Amino acid sequence: MVNYFSSDFKLGILGGGQLGKMMLYETRKYDIQTLVLDPSEEAPSKISCNYFEQGELMDYNTVLNFGRKANVVTFEIEGVNIEALKQLESEGIKTFPSAATLEKIQNKAVQKKFYLEKSIPTANFEVFEDLQKLKDAVKNNKISLPFVWKSATGGYDGKGVSVIKIIEDLNELSDGECIAERLVPFKNELAVIVARNPSGEMKTYPVVEMEFHPTANQVEYVICPARIDEKVAEKARKLAEKVSEAFGHVGLLAVEMFQTEDDQILINEVAPRPHNSGHYSIEASYTNQFEQHIRAILDLPLGNTESKVGGIMVNLVGAKDHEGEVVYENIEQIMKMDGVTPHIYGKKITRPFRKMGHVTIVDKDISKAREVAEKVKNSIKVISKK
């Protein structure tokens, strides 16, 4: 057993955004020394670590030299240099999730092929080397509309994913390797977070449900527990465990899934890190996802993943037509509501649809929490200073 607490042990974190920031609260609780690498001088994590370095996460030498200062390295964003992680591993510095795991996930085309290999159910797809090859396939009727276009790399926060309904939609896409995926008619979009440590201990969080806006194609609420049949939930958790084991994953793996009309579960995609769909856990779970990630990568015993209370998460995204210094309008209104906790990520500038924070709403009665969540959604506005 390594003596992590109040010792010289150092954890390196690649990426210093809001996920890293929330992870850092937990490292402080355990008094673990932390190093953070991020390209932005204004990274939200900067304030809460022991050592901050500004640098590019995809640059081999930057990541290698940074990682050498740590005893264990993890990341809060998938876009990091894998070759540098491999070199660190060969030098005896533990990186969790491992370079081999990340390599199967970072590129979505590789990820999807991996599911086929491992007989993990996923929507049918085809891979294209570049946009022109996809356009040709559509032209020659080898791919029929509508379908989902996904960029193989670089997707984040809804970027890099698009539903192609008409031919003209193809002109809006960026070039590069991509996937055309069958548009699956689904009842629910679900997610399960799996935690796994190097000793092989594994725990899953309850299934959460993404509730979409009735007209706009946008997730409005992440709801835990999902309001679905217990058998379907059990099937989703088992499948998530299978995915985690297939990847040989260590740390947190957020598994996004579709529940089809006939109650099949299909894997959509995974994220090998704390995830937006697990933010509810800070207020609702016995062990929140960030603490769990730290426990997992340090090979500590995993904590209880059950919920104390029902939880709903609402993203705080920048209002459209607002760009500039941020103001959280009516935040005092939502703070009056019982069980409501705002989390502000610390980005000074708001832009349309930029993730600026989130709000968690908890209640023993999930339907009551859902009512409050709607009031929260209708009250708070993320706008720019006049």
The residues binding a second copy (CB under 8 A) are: 1, 3, 5-6, 21, 25, 28-31, 47-50, 286-287, 291, 295, 300-301, 303-304, 308-309, 326-328, 331-332, 335-336, 338-339, 341-348, 356-357, 362, 364
Distance of closest approach, residue 24 Cβ to a second copy, in angstroms:
8
Cβ nearer to a second copy, comparing 31 with 371: 31
Q: Identify which of 201, 276, 268 has the alpha carbon closest to the alpha carbon of residue 240.
A: 268
On whether the CB atoms of residues 27 and 288 are closer than 8 A, the answer is no
| Cβ atoms of residues 347 and 356 within 8 Å | yes
- Dist. CA 133–CA 142, nearest whole Å: 11
Give the residue with the Cβ less far from a second copy, 112 or 203. 203
Contact (Cβ atoms closer than 8 angstroms) between residue 258 and residue 236: no
Nearest to 359 by CA among 333, 384, 383, 385: 333
Residue 375 CA to its chain's centroid (Å): 25
Residues in the chain: 386
**Closest to 20 (Cα-Cα) out of 67, 73, 69, 70:** 73
Q: Closest approach of Cβ 369 to a second copy, in Å?
A: 12
Closest by CA to 13, choosing from 71, 60, 61, is 71
Tell me which residue has tokens 């050498």: 68
Give me the least distance between CB of 303 and a second copy, in Å please: 7
Q: How far apart are CA 167 and CA 189, in angstroms?
A: 26
Q: Select 212 or 328, whichever has its Cβ closest to a second copy.
A: 328
Please check whether residue 255 is in contact with residue 244, taking contact to mean a CB–CB distance below 8 angstroms.
Answer: yes
* Residue (146 or 352) nearer to a second copy, CB: 352
CA–CA–CA angle 378, 381, 383 (5° rounding): 160
CB 256 to a second copy: min, Å: 26
Q: How far is the CB of 272 from a second copy (least distance, A)?
A: 23
Q: How far is the CB of 336 from a second copy (least distance, A)?
A: 4
Binding site, annotated residues for ATP: 108, 150, 181-184, 189, 268-269
Q: Which is nearer to a second copy, 83 or 338 (CB)?
A: 338
**Is the CB of 46 or the CB of 237 nearer to a second copy?**
46
Phi, psi (deg, nearest 5) at residue 310:
-70, 145
- Least distance from C-beta 306 to a second copy, angstroms? 8
State the residue for tokens 């699956």.
184
Tell me how far, at minimum, the Cβ of 205 lies from a second copy, in Å.
Answer: 14
Nearest residue (CB) to a second copy, 6 versus 174: 6
User: Which residues, other chains included, contact 353 with Cβ-Cβ below 8 Å and sequence gap of 6+?
Assistant: 158, 317, 318, 320
Is the Cβ of residue 55 or residue 303 nearer to a second copy in the bound state?
A: 303
Show the tokens assigned to 348. 């000074």
- Tell the smallest beta-carbon distance from residue 218 to a second copy (Å): 23
DSSP characters for 243-292? HHHHHT--EEEEEEEEEETTS-EEEEEEESS--GGGTTHHHHBSS-HHHH
3-state SS class at 151: strand
Coil, strand or helix: which one is 41? coil
**Residue numbers belonging to the annotated binding site:** 108, 150, 181-184, 189, 268-269
220 vs 210: CA distance, rounded Å: 7
Cβ distance to a second copy smaller for residue 255 or 326: 326
